[in-house]
Amino acid sequence: MTYCRALALCLSARTICSLCVAVLFVADTFFTGVLVPRVWPAPHRHMRLMRHLTSADWDNAAIEKSNLPRYMLSQKSFEEVPVWILSLQRSPERRASILVQLTAANISFEFVDAVDGQGLLPAEEVEEYIKGSRLQLYHSADPYMRAKAGCDLSHLRLLHRLVAEGQDAAIIIEDDAILLQEEAVPFKKRLRRLFNQLPNDWELLMLNSCFSFPSKLVGAGVRQFRGGVCTLGYVATRGFALKVLQAARTGTRNIDNLFDMMAQFGEVNAYLAQPAVVLWSNFSSTMG
């Protein structure tokens, strides 16, 4: 009996130990990534387990990217980058505000009519890019969801256009933005400086971001973009556009959440202007 009791205690201890190791392994896999690469279900990839970058990964990447050659863009090439301003036709005050700013900054641009969530949205695009619970909310005529769907489709259309026209990159700004225009460093000069400080692997430059994660500088005025939301202003390359359009077909994430997820999982080489070069205005939201 004594032998049996000792064996049972030993097995119990080994079982408890094994359970502890298993819990530690799972916790490390999903949260810290010290023992094994951290993985996490990716909502924008049908919940497939994907490697989620750790703080150590970001720190190592910052060193690597700080040593990369810069993107260096000539004045002529910079002038050729299209500037598209997303604007609802029913928001003339916003259009007037951004028009004054862009004119003062001597920037050529094009107004692009945004998809209005208050109207009838194109069925084919809704079917392709809005799915799951988002689609249920859309069909329930939820005002915010319809407005958000219109916003998402507006940005996706411009990314389609970027690819279709064969542009290397495009500057996309929403009409409620305030351009950081200072006498010492005008907006246009500031923007070109940012281009020339970008590591040459860049695919996305966020001109502003909400709730972004702290990150390290990799160039003058340029930080890693580790994730964040809002699409007030950004510069997208053709490569980034292709990646987003493919990932967006899962239909499970709003456009800014999609940018956020792709950055967090390290799917894109994304950077953030610091300080921000486009700021929020006082216009009330059109999201309802």
Other Cβ atoms within 10 Å of 171 Cβ, number: 20
Q: Which two tokens stand for residue 266?
A: 């390290």
Residue 30: its pLDDT value, please?
42
Q: Is 186 exposed, middle or buried (0-12, 13-18, 19+ CB in 10 A)?
A: middle
Tokens 């953030």 locate to 272
Classify 269 as helix, strand or coil: coil
Extract the residue ranges of the chain whose pLDDT is less than 50.
7, 21-22, 24-27, 29-33, 36
Residues β-bridged to residue 232:
none
Q: Distance (Å, rounded) from C-alpha 288 to C-alpha 187?
A: 30
| Dihedral pair phi/psi, residue 189, rounded to 5° | -65, -40
Which residue spans within 18-137 are E strands per DSSP?
Answer: 39-42, 48-51, 83-87, 110-113
Q: Distance (Å, rounded) from C-alpha 41 to C-alpha 28?
A: 15
Classify 206 as helix, strand or coil: strand
Classify 12 as helix, strand or coil: helix
Which of 133, 23, 95 is CA-nearest to residue 283?
A: 95
Query: By the 8 A CB rule, do 156 and 255 touch?
Result: yes
Residue 7: its pLDDT value, please?
46
Q: Distance (Å, rounded) from C-alpha 182 to C-alpha 21?
A: 57
Q: Which two tokens stand for residue 109?
A: 């641009």
> What's the pTM?
0.85
Q: Distance (Å, rounded) from C-alpha 71 to C-alpha 94?
A: 33
Residue 193: its pLDDT value, please?
94
Q: Distance (Å, rounded) from C-alpha 162 to C-alpha 169?
A: 7
Residue 26: its pLDDT value, please?
47
Sign of the dihedral through C-alpha 70, 74, 75, 76: negative
Q: Distance (Å, rounded) from C-alpha 42 to C-alpha 39?
A: 9
Q: Hey, what amino acid is at 282?
A: N
Cα dihedral 232/217/45/211 (nearest 10): -50
